[in-house]
Amino acid sequence: MQLVMEKLFAMVLALVGPAPQDTPKDLQLKPGAQIVAIGDSITAGGGYLRQIDAVLAQQYPDLKLPKVINKGISGQKAEDLVQRFDRDVIQLKPAVVTINIGINDVWHRLGAPHDPKVLATYKTNVAKMVDQALAAGIRVLLLTPTVIQEDPAAEGNKRLAMYVAAGREIAAEKKCQLVDLHAMFLTALKQKPAGMKKNWLTGDGVHMQPLGDGVMAVGVLRGLGVPDAKIAASKP
């Protein structure tokens, strides 16, 4: 499947299937609303954030939305984000924050057996960030971590499923919006072109290529209430 950038979003929408039933039906952004994205190197790379900026600018020019503030730092885990969440999110007083963390919590520890205590600490730290944001009146989009290798059966993805479940539990408890990127990536990978041995959505199994950024962008845009028709009509 050849990637034609002008048709990126239409291609992504075909790969990931329909939006979940809990997707907002109306746009969740008011004029001038600021979004902050906090995360690790995937966020720091900024590809999906630039795509989000492009869609919002094209489809909602009258809202005069500022570009997403990128607060991703390479190599970080939930324990790092929680230490800087007040400075990098709360003090900026955004309307929306996207929290995208969990890949390094698993990936950097694959050399050791799964540790339930590490998972429990991860869940506690993510819950703290969600609590802080909600208490400050900030809308939260909690993004589940994407993938570790483009093989659902890989050990990294088996472990990642537990972190995805933790995020889902937090979102249900705190009543914030969950964007299940992990599920979207697994759905897209079912349609990976036959015979393609190299990575397709990512460059190294973790960090995004444009198509992977597109999957992330579609997930976040849906979480913001942007209709699929407007996403498909946009250029990255």
Q: Is residue 201 part of a domain?
A: yes
What is the domain range of residue 105?
Answer: 32-224
- The total of structural domains in the chain comes to 1
Where residue 187 falls among pLDDT bands split at 50, 70, 90? very high
Residues 175-179, mean pLDDT to the nearest whole number:
97
Q: Is residue 158 part of a domain?
A: yes
Q: Is residue 89 part of a domain?
A: yes
Q: Is the pLDDT assigned to residue 49 strictly greater than 90?
A: yes
Task: Please report, rounded to a whole number, the percentage of residues in the chain having pLDDT higher than 90.
Answer: 95
Note the pTM of the prediction, 2 decimals: 0.96
Q: Is residue 200 part of a domain?
A: yes
Q: Please spell the DSSP secondary structure of the chain, one letter per residue.
A: ----GGGHHHHHHHHH-SPPTTS-SS----TT--EEEEESHHHHH-HHHHHHHHHHHHH-GGG-PPPPEEEE-TT--HHHHHHHHHHHTGGG--SEEEEE--HHHHHTTTTS---HHHHHHHHHHHHHHHHHHHHTT-EEEEEPP--SSS-TTSHHHHHHHHHHHHHHHHHHHHT-EEE-HHHHHHHHHTTPPTT--S-SSBSSSSSBPHHHHHHHHHHHHHHTT--HHHHHT---
What CATH number has the domain bearing residue 150? 3.40.50.1110
Q: Is the pLDDT assigned to residue 6 strictly greater than 90?
A: no
Residues 104-109, mean pLDDT to the nearest whole number:
95
Q: Is the pLDDT assigned to residue 1 strictly greater than 90?
A: no
The tens digit of pLDDT for each residue in 138-163 reads 999 999 999 999 999 999 999 999 99
Q: What pLDDT does 197 receive?
A: 85
Where residue 97 falls among pLDDT bands split at 50, 70, 90? very high
Q: Is residue 126 part of a domain?
A: yes
Q: What pLDDT does 3 receive?
A: 63
Q: Is the pLDDT assigned to residue 174 strictly greater than 80?
A: yes
Q: Is residue 188 part of a domain?
A: yes
Residues 183-197, mean pLDDT to the nearest whole number:
93
Q: What pLDDT does 99 receive?
A: 98
Q: Is residue 9 part of a domain?
A: no
Q: Is residue 233 part of a domain?
A: no
Q: What pLDDT does 196 receive?
A: 86
